[in-house]
Amino acid sequence: MHVPPFSLNKQLSEIGPQLEEALLRVLRSGHYIGGSEVEHFEKGFAESVGVPFAVSCNSGTDALIIALRALDIGPGDEVITCSFSFFATAEAITLVGAKPVFVEVDPHNYLIDIQKIESAITPSTKALLPVHLFGCPVNMDELMKLAHKNNLKVIEDCAQASGTKWNGDFVGSFGDVGCFSFFPTKNLGASGDGGAVTTKNKMLSIRMRQLAVHGMPKRYVHTEIGYNSRLDAIQASILNVKLPLLEGWIERRKSIASKYRELLKDVKEIQLPMSDLKDHSWNQFVIRIKSLDKDFDSSEQKEYFHQEHTKQQIESISKRDWLQNNLTEKGISTIIYYPIPIHLQPAYKCLGYTVGQLPQTEKLSKEVLSLPIFPEITIDEQQYVVSSIKDIFKNSKYP
Ligand SMILES: *Cc1c(COP(=O)(O)O)cnc(C)c1O
């Protein structure tokens, strides 16, 4: 059996005709930039998040950049976020000229450790940028309290968390701006790149709309340097078909996650993701494989960060990698989100972080493994993933 980490095949066979019709409608309309599909999507998406304004743009990365710019964050400013995320979270901060400051994650839910934020605040701190990683919502009650107390802006990175709630409200409705991605593997995926920002603040929504179109409030009047960052009408038409299905897909992700949990509960070698959150939308189901001390203290590990390194070198160092290789041999594709934390990426050598500075984050990077999860995965496929994991721990030997 082959189990992919993510697959659109079944989704396409379920909604293929609607998607094709939407594509043809746009193609024949001749309205490829802006227009009714885009307007319809923005309205529907804002409603789905529970805010009055959504502005679409070209990607989740652009959504973050546009949000930061609209909040006047730039050179000299610091933005607190976490290093255990996709690179774009920090990249956007750097691209507007500000400095990302990384706070340790909570090893139980893999999210920014709210208790550790306050000690990272300096007179230059302008904003907090929490990431609802893997579809798990950050505790926005606590985070917003902290932000208000310290007079900080809040930009939510909701790229992996479309349709996720925290305490009854949707993520993207708490902070000053919510930033979403419609990259195909996200909870709500387009057939290409796409993104959106959400806000309750009308002035902010106007500024973001202008920034996304060359800083142009009026045709050919440019009041600031902006971007060419629009959602194509074609992508909007795809998203218009998919948005009403999001809630059902998330319900399926939730039941897939609880099935994994049930099937894996006796496997002592792995640690399951935190379970007490009914609102986790499970964009990823990320387990941990406890590393051995020898995986950790090796000077080899210290050397590979900040250097050009081969895939082989990375793979030579942990039990997690051993499990992943064995699963690959059995036809099961898993993914490591993310093997190198952002603060240790070669591109961020300039920030001066060193190995050991964010130990929880670094440990997670060596231990996490994302099992195949998408709304259409079958119970047979899940059972095969789990029996393969059990079989590997029982019958293969870790070197
Ligand atoms: C995917 C992702 C982004 C960037 O979104 P794109 O649409 O790929 O630009 C940003 N942050 C996180 C956490 C992501 O997972």
Q: Rounded CA gap, 360 and 34, in Å? A: 44
Which ligand 1 atom sits nearest the alpha carbon of residue 61? 9
Is the separation of the CB atoms in 189 and 214 below 8 Å? no
Extract long-range pairs of 142-151: CB within 8 Å, 24+ residues apart: 142/114, 143/112, 143/114, 143/117, 143/174, 144/174, 144/175, 146/114, 146/117, 146/118, 147/175, 150/118, 150/121, 150/125
Distance (Å) from CA 338 to ligand 1 centroid:
13
Determine the Cα–Cα distance for residues 299 and 390; give it in Å rounded to an integer. 31
pLDDT per residue over 213-224, tens digit each?
999 999 999 999
pLDDT digits (tens, 9 = 90+) for 169-209: 999 999 999 999 999 999 999 999 999 999 999 999 999 99
Residue with tokens 């697959």: 7
Q: What is the mean pLDDT of residues 4-16?
A: 92
88 contacts 61 by C-beta, under 8 angstroms: yes
pLDDT band at 236 (very low <50, low <70, confident <90, very high): very high
Rounded Cα gap, residues 370 and 6, in angstroms: 11
- Ligand 1 atom with least separation from CA of 186: 1
Query: Residue 73 and residue 96: Cα distance in Å, rounded?
Result: 7
**pLDDT greater than 50 at residue 378:** yes
Closest-CA residue, ligand 1 atom 2, reads 159
Q: How many residues does the chain have?
A: 399
Three-state DSSP state, 58: coil
- Cα 21 versus chain centre, distance: 30
- Helix or strand (DSSP H, E) at 101: strand 99-103
Q: Is 159 in the pocket of ligand 1 (CB under 6 A)?
A: yes
